[in-house]
Structure 1
Amino acid sequence: MRLSQSVLTALLICVNSAAFANVEVTLPSNSELVLVNGKESDSTDKLTLENGENQLALRYIGRYQQQGSQTQFSSDVIIMTFLAENTSLTIALPRIRSNSAADAFNRDPKISLKNSSEVDIAFRQDKLLKEGMQLGRDYEKEVAEYNSNNQVASVAALAPSITALVQAKPVVIENHGQPKNTINQSDQVNVGQMLDFWYQQADEETRKAFKLKINSKE
């Protein structure tokens, strides 16, 4: 049974549409991916993202010769946010061959984002900066705060909800030393175990003094 030309054309359209149902992003070899839409990712060379607005956080990782010695360069974390549908994109970073070029890139990172036709795709760009010690950074928390503050490359949909912010709020200690938030049940159990332990270690005179103090509080 032969398929008509119209049916074959329709099938080809369906196949092509299925092939580009997402956004594919090819990453440069001189980059390290830090976050994809606010979450850590172990991808190294290619990403498949949902259609719509996406946010990537990455850094330049390079090596070059400077005055006869090998120099390793790791840039600040760069945030780039773009809007795309059913397409294939490629991120490109410049070659860095000197300390001055590395410093210039850190001050003003030059990144390109092109589609399969080599057409430049518009995107918003910023840096995820943190003052002081850089070791042990919580990038997911940092970018969540970044997205909450209406920054250049922020994505409102990736900002933490009000519920999440309330749950993450630390216990506030008032002037009289009592926590504003209620202590949970597990903490109460631990306190009780500690009191029982020290009561058993005390002599009879100390136990009597302890009982008097407890009764005076009631």
Structure 2
Amino acid sequence: MKIKTTLLAAIALGITGTAVAEVTIAIPDTIDVLVANDNKPELSGGLFSSTKTLTLPDGQNQILFTYNPYFDKGKERVLLESDPIIATFNQSNTGLEFGLPQYRNENDAAKKLPTLEWSLRTQNGQAIEVKQDKLLKSGMQIGRNHKLELAEYNRRGGVAAVSSVAVVPVTLPATLNDTPAKMQSGDNTAEEMLHFWYNKADSATQERFKAFINQK
């Protein structure tokens, strides 16, 4: 009986050890995580907590984030924002935190943010190896689809690209060719964008598009 109890305890500890093997990142309120492994990030922590936690699986991970330092100016708060930064790294069973610069004032931050120097480091302060790049887009920045842009970046094979990140699945409306059409797993980003813009078009444009396709 004693042997059985010991054996069960050992198995339970082994299962528990496997279950908690993960990578956690402490996210301060100045960091906005936009995408994590091709998904909307789920952060744990209190609603008004200054630091939240992002939990990721062991192995290769990719996140997209911005650094948003803020400064109190009288009764107002001035918020700045960096370019979206792609970070790809490989870690297991590790707790990480951001190493970020502290700026003297708003002007100092505005001057240095374009060349932001940052790091991901372990809890003992050791910086880990990270492949990083910026996700840049010319023109209007409002309403950007960061998830779709990042999928396209990975497809092109940028400096911080990963090959395992899947594109966003999109389903065509049932009215197209009068039959439901669902994207297959092998579809590429170009097709996804075609579906996206079809859904965005008005009914007249959709009809012209269908007439064009039926001519082929």
Instruction: Say whether the fold is shared (TM-score over 0.5).
Output: yes
Counterpart Cα distance in 1 of 2:192 and 2:59? 29
TM-score (norm 1): 0.66
Amino acid at match of 2:187: T
List runs of 5+ in structure 1 lacking aligned partners.
Answer: 184-218
Aligned pairs for 1:23-172 (under 5 A) are: 23-43=23-43, 45-64=52-71, 70-160=77-167, 162-165=186-189, 167-168=191-192, 170=194
Distance 1:131 1:50, change over 3 A: same
Counterpart Cα distance in 1 of 2:15 and 2:112? 42
Q: Secondary structure at the match of 2:65?
A: strand
Give the greater-gyration-radius structure (CA): 1
List runs of 5+ in structure 2 lacking aligned partners.
Answer: 45-51, 168-184, 196-204
Distance 1:178 1:35, change over 3 A: closer
Asked if 1:21 corresponds to 2:45, the answer is: no
Runs of 4+ residues over 6 Å off in structure 1: 6-9, 66-69
Distance 1:152 1:67, change over 3 A: farther
Distance 1:105 1:126, change over 3 A: farther
Deviation at 1:156, TM superposition (A): 1.3
Query: What RMSD in Å do the two structures reach over aligned CA positions?
Result: 3.5
Q: Secondary structure at the match of 2:95?
A: strand
CA contact (8 A) 1:20 1:87 kept: no
Distance 1:69 1:178, change over 3 A: closer
- Greater shift, 154-163 or 46-55, is seen at 154-163
**Number of residue equivalences:** 179
Counterpart Cα distance in 2 of 1:119 and 1:47? 19
Q: After superposition, what is the alpha-carbon deviation per residue over 1:165-195, rounded to whole angstroms, capped at 9, x for unaligned?
A: 3642539x9xxx9855249xxxxxxxxxxxx
